[in-house]
Amino acid sequence: MTRNLPPVVVIGGGHAGVEAADAAARLGADVVLVTLRPEALVRLSCNPAIGGIGKGHLVREIDALGGLMGRAADAAGIHFRVLNRSRGPAVRGPRAQQDFETYPAVVRRLLGRHGRVELLAGEVVGLRFDGDRVSAVETAAGEVIEAASVVVTTGTFLGGKLFRGEEEEPGGRAGEPPSVALSEALRMAGLRLGRFKTGTPPRLLARSVDLQRFEVQPGDEPPEPFSFANLALPRFRPPMPQVPTHLAQTNPRVHAVVRANLDRSPLYTGRIRAKGPRYCPSFEDKVVRFPDRDRHLLHLEPMGIEHPWIYVNGLSTSLPPEAQEEIVHAIEGLEDAVIARYGYAVEYDYAPPTQLHPTLEAKTRRGLFLAGQICGTTGYEEAAGLGLVAGVNAALRAMGRDPWVPDRFDSYLGVMVDDLTTRGVLEPYRMFTSRAEMRLSLSPDTADRRLRPVAEHLGLVSRADLERTERRWEAIQAARAALERRGPRGSAAQRLRRGEPPEEVLSEVEAARRLPPADRATLAASVRYEGYLERERKEVARLRQAESIRLPRDFDFSRIPGLSHEVRERLAEVRPASLGQAARIPGVTPAALALLAAAVGTRRHAAPA
């Protein structure tokens, strides 16, 4: 590859790394993606599924910004299901089981389409700086790769240690080595590191399990895709064959095995001290925390159409192999199951994200960006979303263009970036719809309307992509107007508000009939939730006022009279860009905020025009 400018270097080929590389390439940057094992690019290290509540929202936003995840998940999906379907549109979460081999193959193909991303096998062990700006990375093989900016996306690999019972070995995930030297390089770049942990369940040999003994959970018919390109189709037909998943249950005998082996669990013997994701607890945790429950639900999920393994969702454990054998065989229907790979826990280094600007650039070094699990998150979708944001800003930085920060009131991406960089994390962060103040306005079906314009402005999607979105919303608006026309039983809008079945009402309106099924659902929701949406719009306008009071980058918080030492420290660490952001920092009280507001006012008055 011949280049004029040094490339954007992305370290790591996981979910964050590929979105970062792809986004930077779409903006016109040359990219070198260095990863330990290119053959394990974008591996689904844990569950073979994309999306879910909150997470599916992120995938739609990634897609609206031209990212890879939604398209790849549609192409490799083998079981589509919208979670929370019976609830309101804000909390419905599209999800799809993935074919373990096809998903990375599709991502690899999409990543190659620009001819701008060079994939290199190697371990980055060092970072070089020119003053306070990153200038190159060094690999274990002694290669020095010049870089205009660098995105670090090392997932669970930094200082990674794998645990199973009394066994403990260095590793980034099963069968792969950890990355050790890079932790030191990040410390030398001025970053503090902490430790988190996560875990994964055993995998079963599919041929050893008689699935007919379990309750079947079929996928949705018709399936609902992630990508807006597929949502626009009259009917989305997944290219992969579709298969069901199955439900299993634990029982008191299983729980007794767990209790009897707790003294061999690294989580309970204190060998793992790091915090894990509370919302994705290990099975040991579930048994201990809910002693009155005599059963827990498990999902038996295929890892692919041809893949020989089944993933046991809900049984994450780091108990020793003998205990895992006992547990699995005590589950009704799994008496003869063969474990293909035992569950394990992984402990790894992460960088507390308040050390990052909302562009995901390190505050200590220009041009050094962090994304994915290294920022204290958990999950593929969170990683991919952060990767996209970091990749965009790494390319913008390389090109000398203004940075981009997703808006908290316009996207879950904005909520996540703001939560991480303003509030920090006490445990691995995963996305929930409850994290967003404006969740009705952020429903997944509206991600294109919210984000395509900025994506086109940045150069992430084409003019034609934006026009498709505009046409979609014009058609929805036209149908919306048609719903107000009076009929013998009142207008269609009135009938929807009265709770009449949307499909029946909309089938009587010509403009609504012409819309694809997904858009009819959007249309119906826009009528039913009109009042709430209006209230949210007013609330956003109010909140934006506090955001519009900007705090200069060089603001000296130590000089504000009356602020406690603790509040001063928190403000100096986060360095909020606005009064609104300052209000979201834990520990910044309303009284402190009033002092800050007064100080900003004074400074404004004192500053020359």
Compute the C-alpha angle 473/479/485, nearest 5°.
150
Q: Determine, following the binding rule CB under 6 A, whether residue 12 of this chain makes contact with ligand FAD.
A: yes
CB of 574 to ligand FAD, least distance (A): 23
Residues 168-187 that bind ligand FAD (CB under 6 A): 172-173, 179, 182
Q: Determine, following the binding rule CB under 6 A, whether residue 154 of this chain makes contact with ligand FAD.
A: yes
Of 97, 98, 102, 198, the residue at the interface with ligand FAD (CB under 6 A) is: 198
Of the pair 46, 392, the CB lying nearest ligand FAD is at 46
Per-residue x/- mask for ligand FAD, residues 469 to 488, rule CB under 6 A? --------------------
The span from the CA of 170 to the CA of 346, in Å, is 9
Of 7, 9, 13, 95, the residue at the interface with ligand FAD (CB under 6 A) is: 13
Q: Determine, following the binding rule CB under 6 A, whether residue 56 of this chain makes contact with ligand FAD.
A: no
Q: Are 427 and 278 in contact (CB under 8 A)?
A: yes
559 secondary structure, DSSP code: G
ω before 444 within 30° of 0 (cis)? no
Of the pair 10, 592, the CB lying nearest ligand FAD is at 10
User: What residue ranges in 84-237 does DSSP mark as E strands?
Assistant: 93-98, 117-121, 124-130, 133-139, 144-146, 149-152, 161-164, 167-170, 194-200, 203-205, 215-217
Residue 549: closest CA among 500, 604, 489: 604
CB of 12 to ligand FAD, least distance (A): 3
Of the pair 12, 225, the CB lying nearest ligand FAD is at 12
Residue 543 backbone dihedrals phi, psi, to 5 degrees: -65, -35
Residues 271-290 that bind ligand FAD (CB under 6 A): 280
The span from the CA of 16 to the CA of 381, in Å, is 9
> What separation in angstroms does the CA of 65 have from each of 253, 392, 395?
49, 10, 15
CB of 378 to ligand FAD, least distance (A): 5
CB of 139 to ligand FAD, least distance (A): 8
Of the pair 283, 557, the CB lying nearest ligand FAD is at 283
Residues 209-268 that bind ligand FAD (CB under 6 A): none
Which residues does residue 149 pair with via DSSP β-bridges, in sequence order? 8
Choices 260-268, 378-386, 413-421, 499-507 (CB under 6 A): range interacting with ligand FAD: 378-386
Residues 70-129 that bind ligand FAD (CB under 6 A): 123-124
Residues 523-542 that bind ligand FAD (CB under 6 A): none
CB of 50 to ligand FAD, least distance (A): 10
Of the pair 168, 437, the CB lying nearest ligand FAD is at 168
Pairing verdict, β 309-313 and 161-164? unpaired
CB of 123 to ligand FAD, least distance (A): 4
The span from the CA of 600 to the CA of 242, in Å, is 58
Q: Determine, following the binding rule CB under 6 A, whether residue 380 of this chain makes contact with ligand FAD.
A: yes
Q: Determine, following the binding rule CB under 6 A, whether residue 155 of this chain makes contact with ligand FAD.
A: yes
The span from the CA of 137 to the CA of 35, in Å, is 12
Choices 6-14, 227-235, 532-540, 567-575 (CB under 6 A): range interacting with ligand FAD: 6-14
Of 46, 68, 413, 525, the residue at the interface with ligand FAD (CB under 6 A) is: 46
Of the pair 367, 502, the CB lying nearest ligand FAD is at 367
Q: Determine, following the binding rule CB under 6 A, whether residue 378 of this chain makes contact with ligand FAD.
A: yes
Helix extents (H) in 300-410: 321-329, 380-399
Q: Determine, following the binding rule CB under 6 A, whether residue 372 of this chain makes contact with ligand FAD.
A: yes
Of the pair 55, 570, the CB lying nearest ligand FAD is at 55
Helix (H, G, I), strand (E, B) or coil at 533: helix
Choices 62-70, 196-204, 512-520, 567-575 (CB under 6 A): range interacting with ligand FAD: 196-204
Of 37, 253, 363, 401, the residue at the interface with ligand FAD (CB under 6 A) is: 37
Of 379, 391, 444, 580, the residue at the interface with ligand FAD (CB under 6 A) is: 379
Q: Extract the tokens encoding 263.
A: 């003294």
Q: Determine, following the binding rule CB under 6 A, whether residue 153 of this chain makes contact with ligand FAD.
A: yes
Of the pair 259, 278, the CB lying nearest ligand FAD is at 278
CB of 578 to ligand FAD, least distance (A): 28
Q: DSSP secondary structure string, 77-98?
A: EEEEEEETTTS-GGG-EEEEEE
Residue 226: closest CA among 34, 372, 403, 59: 59
Sheet containing 297-302, strands listed edge to edge, beginning at the edge strand earlier in sequence: 215-217, 245-249, 297-302, 309-313, 203-205, 339-341
Sheet containing 161-164, strands listed edge to edge, beginning at the edge strand earlier in sequence: 167-170, 161-164, 344-350, 194-200
Residue 399 backbone dihedrals phi, psi, to 5 degrees: -90, 0
Residues 332-351 that bind ligand FAD (CB under 6 A): 346
The span from the CA of 364 to the CA of 573, in Å, is 11
Q: Determine, following the binding rule CB under 6 A, whether residue 45 of this chain makes contact with ligand FAD.
A: yes
- Residues lying near ligand FAD in the complex (CB under 6 A): 11-17, 34-37, 45-46, 123-124, 153-157, 172-173, 179, 182, 198-200, 280, 346, 372-373, 378-380, 383
